[in-house]
Amino acid sequence: MRIAMISTPFIAVPPRDYGGTELVVHELVEGLAARGHEVTLFATGDSRTAAELRHLYPTAQWPPSIMPDLNHVSWAFEQIGREGYDVIHAHSAGALAFARLLPDTTLVYTLHHVRDEDLSGFYRFFPDPWYIAISADQAGREEPLPRLEVIHHGLDPSPYECTEHPADYVCFIGRFSEIKGPHTAIDGAASAGVPIRMAGEVHPVDREFGDREVQPRLRQPHVTYLGTIGMDQKVPLLRDARALLAPIEWNEPFGLILIEAMLSGCPVVAFPHGSVPELVEPGVTGFIARDSGEMAELIRPGGALESFDRRRCRERAVERFSRARMVADHERLYRRALGTGAGRRESTRPMIDGIPPRGSGGTSPAER
């Protein structure tokens, strides 16, 4: 297949530090190219890829803004229209509007966000593209769309390392915002009597919260603050951590750091919001805690982590969240989309990891 992959103009592919969407784009492009597809990546000029790279902006346009996005996407569509592709896979909502100019080309669009009423209202105007939700929880909260499937993210397992003999610390990796729960992670580690290593930073929008709740806690004696980290630091951090703490307070659509921990054999201890219940398998890839007290009990020395099988955790993560599985699911979706006429409509019930829901000839997540 000839595939046009439109990333964002905000962060390079792959991202140097922060950037979930762009990391997924990278994994997908590299996997599709390795399987022999002709992939063109429309991204920023500071991106790196085995596929063909085209760019309008030589460097990442941060912070995100609507004008660079519209400029980038419209430029990509002009290129695509001149040359012809089998599939356009976009990661920007603006692509839905520009697809009107190329009605004979199949468009796939991935939802990377929590429900947003403005975007949901926008989607109602575009019933023909194929939509991908990144979790069943996200799909269930979104506007009903005629063609919506769930495909979980996947990553190349090879960079991640696993040990059966972790160190004594737990860790938190992510944005220092209230919904991510960095303050709760620090308090939980203190209650459990274990050290915690904190990786991340406060974004400008969270400055007041960070000054009030995070900065004072980072000075506590059981806390080691690492700042923002790249893969060279993240890999050993997750490999040696007793657990990754994710006390989220929002309906996170996915959470790439969760599967990065699992691929490292590091158990995830998370609150049951958003995608967490469908990603974390209790006792196998981590534990789900109802509150901070239960989180502290789980990570306490002598607790549930002592008998956790880290090798089995990694094996299960590779089964469910590898790049190969994600790429295969996308290939199936592309082929289905190419074989469906523009006027036809598919089931409105989402598929999970490319598998139909119960009652449509497939298996449910619980049966897999």
pLDDT tens, 125-166? 999 999 999 999 999 999 899 999 999 999 999 999 999 999
- For the record, the structure tokens of 139 come out as 């799909």
- Rounded Cα distance, 23 and 359, in Å: 34
* Intervals of the chain under pLDDT 50: 341-368
User: Mean pLDDT score of the chain, rounded to an integer?
Assistant: 92
Q: Which domains does the chain have, with CATH numbers?
A: 2-155+324-367 (3.40.50.2000), 170-320 (3.40.50.2000)
Cα angle for residues 196, 282, 21 (degrees, 5° grid): 65
Order of strands, edge to edge, in the sheet holding 223-227? Answer: 223-227, 196-199, 170-173, 244-246, 268-270, 286-288
pLDDT confidence of residue 365: 31
Give the per-residue pLDDT at 267: 98
Q: What is the pLDDT of residue 298?
A: 98
pTM score:
0.90
Element (H, E) at 331: helix 323-338
**Cβ atoms 137, 167 nearer than 8 A:** no
Which residue type, as a one-letter code, is found at position 208? E
pLDDT in tens, 169-208: 999 999 999 999 999 999 999 999 999 999 999 999 999 9
Is residue 187 a contact partner of residue 159, using CB atoms and an 8 Å limit? no
Contact 357, 148 (CB under 8 A): no
Beta strands in 29-179 (DSSP E): 38-43, 52-55, 87-90, 106-110, 130-133, 148-150, 170-173
What's the confidence (pLDDT) of residue 16? 86
